[in-house]
Amino acid sequence: MNPTLTRPQPQERIAQAIANLEAWLETLRQPGGYGGPVCHWWQNRLRYTGPGHDWRYEGILIGYLILWQKTGEARYRQRLNQAAGDLLDGQLPDGGYSASRFELNPGRLGTPHEAAATLGLLLSLPGLDNPERVLASARRNLDYLIAQLYLPGENAYRDRVPNKLATLAQALLTYAEGSGQKRYLDYAKVALEQALGYQVRQGPLAGAIHQYGPTATRGDGRFFPYYQSRCIPPLVEGARVLGEPRYLEAARQILGFIERTREPDGGWPMILYQGGGRVERPRWIAANADVLLAYRALGEPPPEAALHRLLEAQLKSGGFPTAEGFGGDQPTPHDLIPVAGWNDKVFRLLAELLPKPALKPQGRPGTPALPAPQVGLTEVQVRVADTPAWLCENHQALVIQTRSEVLYAWRKGEPWARVVHPLLDVR
Amino acid sequence: MELEVQLNPLPGFPALEGAHELAWSYLLDALFADAYHAGVGRLEVVLPHPDLREGVGLRARLTPSSGDKTGLALLAPAPSGKADRVYTLEFGLLAPARLRRTKPTRPGKEPEGSLYVYTLRAKLAGLGMRSPNPAWADRAWRAVRQHFASTQSTPSFYRLLTWGAS
């Protein structure tokens, strides 16, 4: 499947990268959770910088669980429980989460964000202080999502976006397994079958799944390699829990498509269209961690070039940039702004790649298992409407300025940016 | 942030879907961000449509009080009152005539800031989103976003004005 020989990344490099990333994540903490601006293909949110109870919690929760399990350090378990507390405390009486729409925040009923956050809670149960409360909270959220999205008359979900259906299915599968409530398996199966109804069976796009279904039977002709990867772990889980080998085969076909569209430097185009066109740029950077996690979900080693490209991109502040190419050849702020809901994916990936035995404190109590973070000031030149500008970030602030004007200013810890120039407030 | 909401439904006000949903994200975010940084601890809002309640309430819940100043957001016609920070909404050339006829409240001569939302350029760019070709539709959507809001005077559906103390 993967012709590139994957040699293990040096353990020290992975360990240093995750130590730096974890230090950066801590700078995003504010009352209520992890905040910060959001840059995305669909929309951006640079003004709202408050907590988002969205898919950022999937990677943060699972990443902290793995870090705690591999290092035995109590502070990672504390941070895991702190993050879980953000979701539990932010849960609304109807079971939904507040500010769960990521690139559309602040808003409610974020898909797949609420399901992804709940999946994070469920997969991190082994490290949570109050698993009964978490299970009850997860159930309330899943019941809320079913009530909002499931159409009993059609035995289908009204949100006909396969990657979102897949994430919801995985959350339902995980809850059913953890709670013994088998009826959630039926809802999961409906979601997976609905998603697979949009998979292309033959031709150059074989294996890929349409991004969206305008009707129950027709796809929209758009294929994002990134979103393909989000379908793979839920299908693998579906195959295991439901005993359905078709799901595993479908996941392998998706990975085949991802492999065929991988570029030599380890990046992927943003979109391929059914008619043959494509959007080459922007190309994801931090988000590609999800693609590498998809390889791992199928037991395949992540392509070395892709992992190298990811690690090379880490900023001095410890965060990973969003993308390259939002504005053409020159880096723009939307490329370089590190976003919690993309970096969580890197956090989880690096935690998975971290070797366990090599990092255990060897009989010296108090010796940290990870190296001390080596973070500093990110200072990168960008272009804003053909004007040179500088993006600067440290543990206190994120600022973008030209020689004469501040275009963006966010003091970390605050829920709203202080300055957002109209040139940057493109949603 | 402490919040008090009044409703004054405006006949002909558009459903909060598509471009109008995006427009209200700009308007409400601009309002709450300014109020937060101006030290507003208590905000009174008059809404033109009941569906805006949730977005206003959510933003108030996510925005801690940053001072003891008062704010008044007249997003629908209402008597002007005393406040340290005032926000008014007006309807521009792209709005239906019945909304444009809504008499705006202007607590001063010159606002401190103006935000023009759902501009003519964005509306024109949006025509391409109806293309059956998904690549063209994606390009049109990107153009819509590029031109959706402006702080410079331009034909638009909405215009949010920010004022100092009234």
SS (H, E, C) A282-301: CEECCCHHHHHHHHHHCCCC
Assigned domain for B133 exists: no
Assigned domain for B130 exists: no
Band the pLDDT of A362: cuts 50, 70, 90.
very low
Query: How many distinct structural domains can be found in chain A?
Result: 1
- Identify the CA nearest to A231 among candidates A284, A288, A170, A318: A170
In tens, the pLDDT along B34-53 reads: 999 999 999 999 999 999 99
pTM, two decimals, is: 0.96
> Predicted ipTM?
0.97
Q: Between chains, do B61 and A98 touch, taking CB under 8 Å as contact?
A: yes
Residue A86: partners with Cβ closer than 8 Å, 6 or more residues away:
A32, A33, A34, A51, A53, A57
Band the pLDDT of B103: cuts 50, 70, 90.
confident
Q: Between chains, do B54 and A422 touch, taking CB under 8 Å as contact?
A: no
- Going by the DSSP 8-state scheme, the letter that residue A199 receives in this structure is B
Query: How many distinct structural domains can be found in chain B?
Result: 1
Q: Between chains, do B29 and A47 touch, taking CB under 8 Å as contact?
A: yes
Q: Name the closest residue on chain B to residue A326, using Cα atoms.
A: B142
Q: At A197, is the secondary structure helix, strand, or coil? A: coil
Residue identified by tokens 């959706």 is: B148
Assigned domain for A111 exists: yes
Assigned domain for A353 exists: yes
Assigned domain for A406 exists: no
Instruction: Give the pair of three-digit tokens for residue A118.
Output: 């709940």
Assigned domain for A415 exists: no
Q: Is A50 on the interface with B (CB under 8 A)?
A: yes
Residue A363 has pLDDT above 70, yes or no: no
Mode of pairing for the β-strands spanning A33-34 and A222-223: unpaired
- The CA-based angle B158-B162-B166, given to 5 degrees, is 130
In tens, the pLDDT along B86-99 reads: 999 999 999 999 99
Is residue A292 within 8 A of residue A309, CB to CB? The reply is: no
Q: Is A208 on the interface with B (CB under 8 A)?
A: no
- The CA-based angle B48-B51-B57, given to 5 degrees, is 95
Which DSSP string corresponds to B54-93?
Answer: HHHHHHHHHS---SSEEEEEESS-------SEEEEEEE-T
**B133: chain A residues, CB-CB within 8 Å:** 275
Q: Span A394-403, mean pLDDT?
A: 98
In tens, the pLDDT along A98-134 reads: 999 999 999 999 999 999 999 999 999 999 999 999 9
Q: At A60, is the secondary structure helix, strand, or coil? A: helix
In tens, the pLDDT along A322-339 reads: 999 999 899 999 999 999
- Identify the CA nearest to B38 among candidates B161, B148, B162: B162
Assigned domain for B132 exists: no
- Mean pLDDT over all residues of chain A? 95
Measured in angstroms, the CA of A109 and the nearest CA of chain B are apart by 12
Instruction: Give the pair of three-digit tokens for residue A199.
Output: 């998979």
Is residue A238 within 8 A of residue A188, CB to CB? The reply is: yes
Q: Between chains, do A98 and B30 touch, taking CB under 8 Å as contact?
A: no
**B146: chain A residues, CB-CB within 8 Å:** 426
Assigned domain for A402 exists: no
Measured in angstroms, the CA of A117 and the nearest CA of chain B are apart by 18
Instruction: Give the pair of three-digit tokens for residue A409.
Output: 């200013």
Assigned domain for A190 exists: yes
Assigned domain for B139 exists: no
Is residue A206 within 8 A of residue A253, CB to CB? The reply is: yes
Domain, as residue range, for B70 = 2-115+156-163
Q: At A250, which helix (H) or strand (E)?
A: helix A245-261
Mode of pairing for the β-strands spanning A156-157 and A222-223: unpaired
In tens, the pLDDT along A180-192 reads: 999 999 999 999 9
CA distance A287 to B132: 29
Assigned domain for A386 exists: no
CA distance B94 to A20: 49
Assigned domain for B32 exists: yes
Domain, as residue range, for A130 = 11-376
Assigned domain for B22 exists: yes
Among the partner residues B25, B58, B151, nearest to A422 by beta-carbon distance? B151
The beta strands (E) that lie in A251-405 are given as: 271-273, 278-279, 283-284, 323-324, 378-384, 387-393, 397-401
Assigned domain for B136 exists: no
In tens, the pLDDT along B65-77 reads: 999 999 999 999 9
